[in-house]
Amino acid sequence: MKRNKFLLLAFAVAAMLTSCGGKQGGKMGDNEFAVRTIETQTANLQSSYPASIKGVQDVEIRPKISGFITKLCVREGQTVKRGQLLFVIDNVTYAAAVRQAKAAVNSAKAQLNTATLTYENSQKLFKNNVIGSYELQSAKNSYESAKAALAQAQANYVSAKQNLDFCYVTSPANGVVGDLPYKVGALVSSSNAEPLTTVSDINSMQVYFSMTEKDLLDMTKTAGGLHAAIKDYPPVKLQLADGTVYGHDGRVAAVSGVIDQSTGSVSIRADFPNPEHLLKSGGSGSIVVPHASSSAIVVPQEAVVQVQDRYFVYIVGKDNKVKYSAVTVNPNNDGKNYIIESGLKAGDKIVVKGVTTLKDGMQITPITEAQYQEKLKKTSEMGSHQNDLNKLKEDLTK
């Protein structure tokens, strides 16, 4: 009985081998390789640049006087208007200084009134030859001194009043409140390294990125000048830190006129609307600049061999021998294809499948990519038959 089972197994194996065939394509056991004839096509390219995000106006809020914070009137992330109260600093001492300065003004006014009466009376007496010029000049000097004392007292009063006003820290602009590192009871002064907070206008955002000097020159030459290049620059996109693309396009608004000698790059600013307040000042991302090419040479990445920072393809000659050839690849790609900048031209034929098994000068049998896929399908079917065979063998040996 077991003999009959093994005979059945032998017949099954023979049938499967007969139905599947004994050869595989490309790197599947023979010298048949999928070959593609190069054609130019339209390709949408893009360049990506690291970027930093800032509000149109980031205002650091710093105290102008020293004192303890007695009240916080806002919270982090709150939207505030210009002139809105943010902090209150202990004002007892400054209020007392205002009262003292006001009293000094009143005293100076009284002294000036007395000096004025004395000077006017001295003028009359001098006209009547009752007093001499010395007495008249003395009265005038006292009058001038009293006027100066009043002016000084009034200046001190204005200064004291201003210091009292500084106890009430208000927002200088519309925007959103940043971090609040100081809480109630903290002693603050104008010498603090860290500001009380930052108010950022985030209705629109300024995104800064850097472009190489070469890219800037190419852009300027193509457009016929820097201002024209900025005007004609295509809308740019912003890729956020989580990898998503921001929902509003931006426009390049300004280019720095100075090249950073340490990096060889130029700072560029793009403006983005921020109606949902999704962008935050201090954030980061990447500026994505689109480019369109109507005569690009696009090849699949699996057709390219990378050796360190160099790239190679196998070009098929008229005698069907392959030549290991260097190419220049555009650094921007979609993860599936490369855009070849040099090393290939329309009409060239390259191997696109199984390049890892090729050697320079090797002769191959070119087949189309459709034929290659058909061979893969047959190979997959043979693998499935092999699994069935293994299962049958297990069943027969039980």
Give the CATH architecture of domain 91-166. Orthogonal Bundle (1.10)
Q: Strand runs (DSSP E) across 163-257, as ranges?
A: 168-170, 175-177, 187-188, 197-212, 237-240, 251-255
Torsion angles phi and psi, residue 82, rounded to 5: -60, 130
The alpha carbon of residue 342 and the mean position of all alpha carbons in its chain are separated, in whole angstroms, by 31
Alpha carbons 233 and 227: distance in angstroms, whole number: 10
CA angle 191, 60, 242 (to 5 degrees): 130
Decide: helix, strand or coil at residue 241: coil
**Other beta carbons within 10 Å of 347:** 9
Within the chain, all domains assigned CATH 2.40.30.170 are found at 49-56+198-293
pTM over cut 0.85: no
251 within 8 A of 269, measured Cβ to Cβ: no
Long-range contacts made by residues 369-375, C-beta under 8 angstroms, separation at least 24? 369/34, 369/36, 371/25, 371/32, 371/34, 372/25, 372/26, 372/32, 372/33, 372/34, 375/24, 375/25, 375/26, 375/28, 375/32
CATH class of 27-38+304-369: mainly beta
Superfamily designation of domain 49-56+198-293: Efflux pump adaptor protein, beta barrel domain (2.40.30.170)
- Type of residue found at 168: Y
Alpha carbons 47 and 331: distance in angstroms, whole number: 8
Which residue in this structure is represented by tokens 């209020």?
Answer: 95
Within the chain, all domains assigned CATH 2.40.420.20 are found at 27-38+304-369
Per-residue pLDDT of the chain (398 residues; tens, 9 = 90+): 444 444 444 444 444 444 444 343 444 557 889 999 998 887 777 778 899 998 888 889 999 999 999 999 999 989 899 999 999 999 999 999 999 999 999 999 999 999 999 999 999 999 998 898 999 999 999 999 999 999 999 999 999 999 999 999 999 988 889 899 999 999 999 899 999 999 988 888 999 999 888 878 877 776 677 788 788 788 999 999 998 999 999 999 988 878 888 888 889 999 999 988 898 888 999 998 887 777 889 999 999 999 988 999 999 999 999 999 999 998 777 778 888 989 999 999 999 998 988 999 999 999 998 898 888 887 776 655 555 556 655 655 65
Within the chain, all domains assigned CATH 1.10.287.470 are found at 91-166
* Close Cβ partners of 250 (under 8 Å, ≥ 6 residues apart): 207, 235, 236, 237, 238, 270, 271, 272, 287
Alpha carbons 343 and 387: distance in angstroms, whole number: 45
